[in-house]
Amino acid sequence: MSNTMKTIIFIVSLFTFLLFFILINTIIAPEVILDSPNAALLAALLYIAAYITAMYSQAFMKYLYTKNRMKALNIIKALPAKSFEMRDRLIILALPIIAIFMPMVRKREVTAENLWSIAYLAVFALIIEVLFLINSRTLKAYVTDKGFAINGIDFRLELSIPFSYSNAVGWYPFERIENYLALSSKVLLYQTYDMGVIALECSEDEVKQIKGLLVSKKIPERRY
C-alpha cells in the first residue's frame, strides 16, 4: 500500500475518532458524564470505544481498498497469513501507556486514580488481545497471476510514516518484490525499499509451486 493511501487512511481514522465524541456529545450531554459518580469509568470506556472505532475504520478501508484491487486478478491459491506480532500490540498500546505513566513519573507518586488508570489499561490490553485473536483468523494471503495480496480485517494502526508491518493488508504486484527466500514450510517475500516482509505459510509442495511462479517472473532468490 502506498504511503499516500496510508496517509489518507490515517487522516480518516482521526476524523472517525473525533466524530465518535461529537456523536456521543450529541446523544449524551458532557455534564451528565462529568457529574456521574462513575465519571472516570465512563470516560475510560468512551476513550477505549473511540480508539477501537478508529482502528476498525482503518481496517475496513484497507479491506475494501484491497478487495477492489483484487477484482481483476486471477487467484491461483489462498493461504493463511502469518499471525500478528507482539510489536503490533505495543504500537497500539504505546499512546495510552505514555498518557498514564508520564504523569506518575513526573510527579514521582502513584495515586488511587493512577491505579484505576492502570486497571483500565489492563482491560484495554485484554480487549486488544481478544480482537487480535479474532481478526487474525480473517487474514489470508492470495497468490495471483499478477502478484500477491493480503486481505482481511487488519486493525493494526496505520501510521502516516514510512513504516510497514509484516503481512500488512494490501496488493503487492510482482514488480514490488525485490527477492524471496524459500524455506521448508514458508516463503518470505522481500519488497523493494524495505517496505515489509510478506510471509506465506505453506506446505512443501506449495513452496515449490510459488517458487516456480517467482522464477518464471525472473525474481531472484535471496541468499542467507
DSSP code per residue over 37-106: TTHHHHHHHHHHHHHHHHHHHHHHHHHHHHHHHTTT--EEEEEEBPPP-HHHHHHHHHHHHHHHHHHHHH
Length of the chain equals 224
pLDDT score at 142: 94
Of 39, 62, 64, the C-alpha closest to 156 is: 62
Listed by start position, the domains of the chain span 3-216
When pLDDT is averaged across residues 5-11 and rounded to a whole number, the result is 82
Q: pTM for the complete prediction?
A: 0.78
Please answer whether residues 171 and 103 qualify as being in contact, where contact means their C-beta atoms are separated by less than 8 angstroms: no
Place of cell 524495505: 194
Please, what is the average pLDDT of the chain?
A: 83
When pLDDT is averaged across residues 199-209 and rounded to a whole number, the result is 89
Q: Distance between CA atoms of 127 and 125, rounded to whole angstroms?
A: 5
Q: Distance between CA atoms of 224 and 210, rounded to whole angstroms?
A: 19
124-136 residue pLDDT tens: 899 999 988 888 8
Pairing between β-strand 75-80 and β-strand 140-144 as defined by DSSP bridges? antiparallel
**Residue 221: enclosing H or E segment and its boundaries?**
none
